[in-house]
Structure 1
Amino acid sequence: MDARLLKFFIAVYEEKNLTRAATRCFVSQPNISNGIKQLEEELDKNLFIRHKKGVELKTEAHYLYPIAKRLVGEMNSLSHIFKERQFNNKIQIGVAESLPQEHKQQFFRTTTNLCESVEWVTKDIGRENEINLLVREWKHEEDLFLPLWKEDYVLCIPNDNPLINKEIIELSDLEKETFIHCPPCEAHKQCLSILNNETNKMLTIANCSTKTETLTMLMAGLGVTFLPEAFVDGWYGFEIKKYNGPRYFREVGLAYPRKSLRNPAIAQIIEYFSKNELKTNKFTEFGYYLK
């Protein structure tokens, strides 16, 4: 049924006059009259009794009116529903701290464009989330893991340290240097292993609970440290130096229980990144000298 005919009917029913109904609908009176006649033919019922002063409502018109109002109201609301994006794909995601902003921005930008009308609920990483963006070592044993990017750990030297002038740092050069450590860091044990194998004179100046605190100590010039390359990109007070030694890195990706794939938005994200790389705008891999 033509929604326009129902709108004509509603106008005539409420105005009880064809001329006023035509003015309200921005059409001519013959259009209203023909529309009502067409509607009556489709329903095989007479809705109005016409007379010189207007129209008289029949029982059939009283019956049709609330139905017509509901149908027209629902049809009018359709465009608003989709414009307001009320059909949201909700995803509760845990996001680990210390991940590079550029990578996180590109992840959320890509996935939001990928999934129509997605609504994000961000939390600290944990098992209560449908999916977590984190370092591989932090995932729960039973969760699946899809890697998105790798970050090299780089040697950071404060600007006032004499080693800043060396083109390539030997690990033996780090003897007697003060080190800033981050014990909760996923690469802390790797770092200690490298240093302890090469020098017996490592001096600890600070043990920090987060990478952000480690970065603060580094920028203050307290000592040298290893940090993810993308994490330190853009900060000041130190330089990244090439070193002759083992390379180590962290792998960042999506950890999720299999049941989370029941969420169509998450299933779409996993399928996409299974076939496509996460593209970033501003970070290129740093060259290292390896043993």
Structure 2
Amino acid sequence: MDIRQLTYFVAVYEHGSISSAARQCCVAQPSLSSALRQLEQELGVTLFIRLPKGVTPTEDGEKLYGHAGRILNQLQSLKASFNEPVARIRFRLGLIKALGVERMSHLLREFSTSVPGLELHLVEPDEICEARIITRQLLKAGEAFQPIWQDNYLLALPPGSALILQDNIALTDFENLPLIQRSPCDAWNTLYPELVRRGIKPDLRANIQTIEYALGLVSAGVGCAVVPDFDNMRQRNDILIRPINELKLERTIGLAYPKNTHSEPLTMLRQYCQYASSRQH
């Protein structure tokens, strides 16, 4: 496997066409096709399904795209570090709250160093920006959506809660349960109306915005909270988490960007998001 093969692969993936990729890479189509076949043979997988008009990536192709984009971006950044200073490129990225500090820090760190001269500005998701990391429900007309993470929600319990003896939480367990409301929250918007419909009344103790504050109140014994199942929560010893039965509480986090818009920072951000998605599965 070499850089040339990965470059051809990424071009075919992004264009959905071997002929278009060959034109972009300034190479004869048979040569590009041969390089792709060699790459597939080396990996022992099929990367694309050939269609009458173009190609579509297989699951292995989707997986390789994130890795290949990351490798090519790092190589480009390495080369750029030995060149003359380049013009600054301003890129505004809108972010919703409660995305998970660890995984977002990793994603933003890699992206911010991948484009020479990139000046990354993090803004609210409703401000003017080149792209947004949001839930699918917030997608606007004219935007494309590339999924990154699929989060399930769990109930975070204080160590002293009687519910820690249960492996799962039923909706009836929410009756008079000390509960911390967090808004905005996709899971709360599903859970609370269902509790109301069933006549179940939890004991609402607080209404806050961030997951960090919610977990702080849980740890202090104020109440329980519905939170996304982030990896770092399972490593904490000041709270316990349990799955909730009867309701499917989940959200899809993804990259939203204007359709038919192309730029170097956006292309690289999409590749890093694809890589982050492949690491979750």
* TM superposition score category, shorter chain reference: 0.5 to 0.7
> Are the counterparts in 1 of residues 135 and 252 from structure 2 also a CA contact under 8 Å?
yes
RMSD of the TM alignment (CA)?
3.1
Q: CA deviation at 1:240?
A: 0.5
Deviates more, 1:132-141 or 1:107-116: 107-116
Structure 1 residue 181: Cα displacement:
0.8
Q: What is the match of residue 208 of structure 1? A: 208
Tell me the SS of whatever aligns to 1:191.
helix
Q: Taking every aligned residue pair, what percent have the same amino acid on both sides?
A: 21
Quick check: which has more Rg, 1 or 2? 1
Quote how far apart the aligned CAs of 1:254 are: 1.1
- The structural deviation recorded for 1:80 is 10
Structure 1 distance, partners of 2:224, 2:117, is: 45
Q: How does 1:1-291 map to 2 (within 5 A)?
A: 82-83=82-83, 85-112=85-112, 114-198=114-198, 200-230=200-230, 233=233, 234-258=235-259, 261-270=261-270, 272=271, 276-280=275-279
Q: Indicate if the aligned counterparts of 2:132 and 2:257 stay in contact, CA closer than 8 A.
A: yes
Give the distance between the partners of 1:143 and 1:83, measured in 2 at CA: 35
The residue aligned with 2:45 is none
Structure 1 residues 235-282: Cα deviation after superposition (integer angstroms, max 9, x where no partner)? 4532011333222111111112236x2422213433x368655355xx
Q: Is residue 148–residue 277 contact of structure 2 (8 Å, CA) maintained in 1?
A: yes
* Equivalent position amino acid for 1:169 in 2: I
Specify every segment of 5 or more residues in structure 1 that has no aligned partner in the other structure, as ranges.
Answer: 1-78, 286-291
C-alpha contact 2:195 2:201 (8 A) present in aligned 1: no
Distance 1:186 1:238 in 2: 22
Give the C-alpha shift of residue 109 in structure 1: 4.0
After superposition, the Cα gap between the structure-2 partners of 1:89 and 1:247, relative to the gap in structure 1 and judged at 3 Å, is same
Shift of 1:132: 1.3
Matched positions, count: 202
Q: 1:58-97 CA deviation, whole Å, 9 max, x = no partner?
A: xxxxxxxxxxxxxxxxxxxxx9995454244432212222
**Partners in 2 of 1:80 and 1:218 — Cα distance?**
47
Task: Tell me the TM-score normalised to structure 1 length.
Answer: 0.59
* 1:156-175 deviation digits (Å, cap 9, x = unpaired): 11111111122233222332
- Note closer, same or farther for the CA distance 1:149–1:81 as it changes in structure 2 (3 Å cut): closer
Q: Matched residues in 2 for 1:227 and 1:160: separation?
A: 18
CA contact (8 A) 2:115 2:265 kept: yes
